[in-house]
Amino acid sequence: MDFDIAQIDELLATTRAVRRRLDFSRPVDNQLLLDCIDLAEQAPTGGNLGSRRWIIIRDRRVKQQLGDLYRETALSFMATTAERRRGTGDPNERVMASAAYLAEHLAEVPAIVIPTIIGRHDGSGRPGLFDSVIQAAWSFCLALRARGLGTTWVTAALQNRARVKEILGIPEHITEIALFPVAYTRGTDFRRAPRDPARSITYFDRFGTTAERGPSAELSFDDGPGAIVEIDIGARPARVWSLVTDLNLPARFSTEFVGAEWASDARGVGATFHGRNQHPAIGQWTVTCFVDAWEEPRAFGWRTSDPNNPGARWRFDLEAGGGGTRLRFSYIIGPGPSGTTRALSNNPGRESRVLRRRIDEVHANMQRTVEGIKQLAELSG
């Protein structure tokens, strides 16, 4: 069978969390929901044991009870979070306002569907329980979208498990997974969400090892190999920004970086600084660095040696979220000459081993650096 890849990709890419565009006035047929559940049941299940059980809620009073519970559990948090983020540009402001809207209107949706699984999630990592239901639940969302319906993956409404079980008569040995408010959508065009490109979140062979191209079967200079470390910091981006742009700070944590001084008065893209380093195999050296990213408080990046043909590219990215900051520190080797290219020419035929060693040592220093920054940022709040 030839699939229409473009259509299937569109379905996979545009099945959004729909809240404000749910059409409460248009009835939804039970058989349609059962058809979607039949499709969802084709998802894999551990041990081939069919342990998923679904509840479709139609009774207005039951929907009302779930709506009341959702509001009690989550509405004040959503409303205050939306209010706190108003005007900050944080994308969660819109999500929270929209989530609050759904909580207020939950009882009005034509149907609520709750997938459950026989068993209690015991945190054992045992496959076959939780892991056997998420994929079916998502298939259900996709099947809805293919038919002009929409939903949102809601978990906050299930937080008070005892009350949910009481309202729906769900036994103790059953775990409820998500709550899906289901309705036809107003219009069927939805956009792709902004997400990190696969290249930036996919590692090759070793966690934290990246490649700009390829990669080949083995680590290769031409693939643009590199490393990424990430850490979640309990401090605002502005605080983390002041630490990552303090050039000398990494010298406190890295075994290679000794210090740096700004070479230009101006800060921003095009500014330069001199970085001093030492390495047991190379001795000491100084490298000129050219700032190629300066977006306070989000990104600080620089290229070494030659801005048009850098020996390496380094970058800090700061992402706000959950009241803190996710700090990402990345490094890409090449494409220009550097100590690494010298080591490569001194070791013919050992390209992947030289690169592996280099990436591992840089990665370890980057890890120490972000851990140090986290500690300092959290100390000072």
Among 10, 11, 17, 259, binds ligand FMN (CB under 6 A): 17
Q: Which of 56, 280, 316 is nearest to 180 (CA)?
A: 56
287 near ligand FMN (CB under 6 A):
no
The C-alpha R_g of the chain, in whole angstroms, comes to 26
Shortest separation between residue 283's beta carbon and ligand FMN, angstroms:
50
> Binding string, 60-79, against ligand FMN, x = CB under 6 A?
--------------------
144 binds ligand FMN (CB under 6 A): no
| Cross-strand pairs, 57 | 112
Select from 32, 95, 167, 170 the one that contacts ligand FMN (CB under 6 A).
Answer: 95
Is the separation of the CB atoms in 292 and 313 below 8 Å?
Answer: yes
Q: Which positions from 157 through 196 interact with ligand FMN, judged by CB under 6 A?
A: 193
Stretch that binds ligand FMN, among 50-58, 153-161, 231-239, 263-271 (CB under 6 A): 153-161
Sequence-distant (6+) residues with CB within 8 A of 60 are 107
Kindly tell me which of 98 and 325 has the beta carbon lying closer to ligand FMN: 98
DSSP state, 191? P
Count of residues interacting with ligand FMN (CB under 6 A): 11
Say how far apart CA 305 and CA 377 lie, in whole Å: 30
The answer to whether 156 contacts ligand FMN (rule: CB under 6 A) is yes
CB of 179 to ligand FMN, least distance (A): 8
Cβ-proximal residue to ligand FMN, closest one: 156
Decide if residue 43 touches ligand FMN (CB under 6 A): no
The verdict on 99 binding ligand FMN (CB under 6 A) reads yes
Q: Does 152 bind ligand FMN (CB under 6 A)?
A: yes
Q: Which of 69, 102, 332, 362 binds ligand FMN (CB under 6 A)?
A: 102
Distances (CA, A) of 201 to 60, 144, 186, 211: 44, 29, 34, 11
Q: What are phi and psi of 379, to 5 degrees?
A: -60, -45
Segment interacting with ligand FMN (CB under 6 A) among 50-58, 82-90, 154-162, 215-223:
154-162
Residue 241 Cβ vs ligand FMN, minimum distance, rounded to whole Å:
25
Answer whether 28's CB lies under 8 Å from 110's CB: yes
Contacts of 365 (CB under 8 A, 6+ apart): 250, 253, 254, 255, 256, 257
Under 8 Å between Cβ of 365 and 278: no
Query: Which tokens hold the place of 359?
Result: 């990436």
DSSP class of 350: -
Which residues form the interface with ligand FMN (CB under 6 A)? 16-17, 95, 99, 102, 152-156, 193
